[in-house]
Chain A
Amino acid sequence: MNALRELWQSLTDSLEKLGAVIQFLLRLIANSPRALMRFDLISQQIFNCGALSLVIIMLSGVFVGMVLGLQGYDLLQRFGSEEALGEAAAIGLVKELGPVVTALLFAGRAGTALASELGLMRATDQISAMEMMAVDPIQRVVVPRFLGGVIAMPLLAAVFSVIGIFGAQLVGVQFKGVDAGSFWSQMRASVTLADVNMGIVKSLVFGVACSLIAVYQGYYATPTAEGVGRATTYTVVTSAVVILFLDYLITAAFL
């Protein structure tokens, strides 16, 4: 009986949390138009979330692309159709790996930074101070960070995919000797604009999810050193699970 009650308790708790996150999202969206007026704040966050994540995104992109090139070549040459490597790598990157891996890296690089920054602001009473000065912290601090992440994420995913395709090209064409013309022509013949759009939609949704989780965790962090630490951990863990779950949903909806 006690166990049942505890289960019920944890269920309602998580539902309550989900509701709170959704409400927080609506609040952010409601505040977005006015925050867009001060674009310099958003631009700064695009720099923090995007430009600073660029190096890790590009490095990972090269290696993911190279692995795809190697694995794809090994598999395809068994059927004597190595030329399909460009197609396989491009579709894999644009539709799936680009958005998902970028989002996971984004959660690790930018999400944790956002969460710990906001959590520290909370812990050091900076947020309360703003409230006291009649500055809305949501609009001044949270929304620019959220929008910066949402804008940066699709761009990062696109960079990842392009770099990955060149990585696959490097291994396939330069190392393994697949014909460069066939590599690109088969890719062009089979990748459609719908595939690219699917990747963009995915990365946009992941951007919203990652940024939302990060700012929520940071903004409502327990104002202690431990609380900030927990907020960062939860940001990464929740983001990863939510990204993979949403990925399945979007793929199922598109296919």
Chain B
Amino acid sequence: MGKSRTLNLGTGTFVLLGFAALFFLTTQTTSRGLPFMSPPHYDLTAKFDNVGDLKVGSPVSMSGVEIGRVTKIDFDQSDYKAVVVLRVNAKYNQIPTDSDASIYTQGLLGGKFIGLTAGGADTYLKDKDQIDFTQSAFVLESMIGQLLANFTKSKADAADATPAPAPAPTDSKAAGKPKAAEKAK
């Protein structure tokens, strides 16, 4: 009797462990995670024009020290901005109301995180407050697009500039040219 009891106990423990592992895999490694108990905290919101590939769970840091996490990313249809909910540890409760939030990248291709920079106000952010000063994510594609636009523009300017130190009579013509070049763009 005693032997069969330990046997059943072993089987039961093993099956329980196996199912616990399966449960962990489905809930904790995928995005259908269940929010497990978290330390005392308060929530702040911030609106960004573009969050890039910021993800739920990305760190929120201040002076490089992690003080919280992103818990929700939503889209506000009324002003076409991304609404990010930041869950900040309750022990960091003295963040000035005029602090600003920016989205930075960890490493060259790493994930995004939110960096807060303290402002100078005497009042502090409380639960459900909104951070008004935000700076969007650095999006590589749009940056490259801008760079290319600047590049072609400066090239066009350079092309315009070369005929400028020409004989005096053509001066009026050269002056008219930048306008035409600008129109072409």
Contacts and interface: CB of A to CB of B under 8 A. Distances in A.
Interface of A: 40, 43-44, 46-47, 50-51, 54, 79-84, 90, 94, 151-152, 154-156, 158-159, 161-162, 165, 179, 181-182, 184-189, 191-193, 195-196, 199-200
Contact of B22 (A151, A184, A186, A200): A200
The 3 closest A-B pairs by CB, nearest first: A155-B18, A185-B57, A80-B107
Interface of B: 4, 7-8, 10-11, 13-15, 17-19, 21-22, 24-26, 28-33, 55-59, 66, 69, 106-111, 113
Given A90-B29, A155-B21, A179 B57 contact: no
B110 A82 contact: yes
A43 B8 contact: yes
A94 B30 CA distance: 11
Given A50-B18, A155-B21, 14 more contacts: A43-B8, A44-B11, A54-B17, A80-B109, A80-B110, A90-B29, A155-B14, A161-B25, A179-B66, A188-B56, A188-B57, A189-B55, A192-B31, A199-B25
A193 B32 contact: yes
A181 B69 contact: yes
B55 A185 contact: yes
B29 A79 contact: no
Nearest to A155: B18
A61 B26 CA distance: 18
Contacts of A184: 57
Contacts of B113: 182
A185 B71 CA distance: 10
29 contacts: A44-B11, A46-B15, A50-B18, A51-B11, A83-B106, A84-B109, A84-B111, A94-B29, A154-B22, A155-B14, A155-B15, A155-B17, A155-B21, A158-B18, A158-B19, A158-B22, A181-B58, A182-B58, A182-B59, A182-B111, A182-B113, A184-B57, A185-B55, A185-B57, A186-B111, A187-B29, A188-B33, A191-B29, A193-B26
Given A83-B111, A161-B21, A181-B69, A46 B14 contact: yes
Contacts of A80: 107-110
Nearest to A151: B15
Nearest to A49: B14
A81 B109 contact: yes
A186 B8 CA distance: 39
Nearest to A89: B29
Contact of B7 (A44, A181, A193): A44
B58 to A, nearest CB: 6
B18 A47 contact: no
A50 B15 CA distance: 8
Contacts of A44: 7, 11
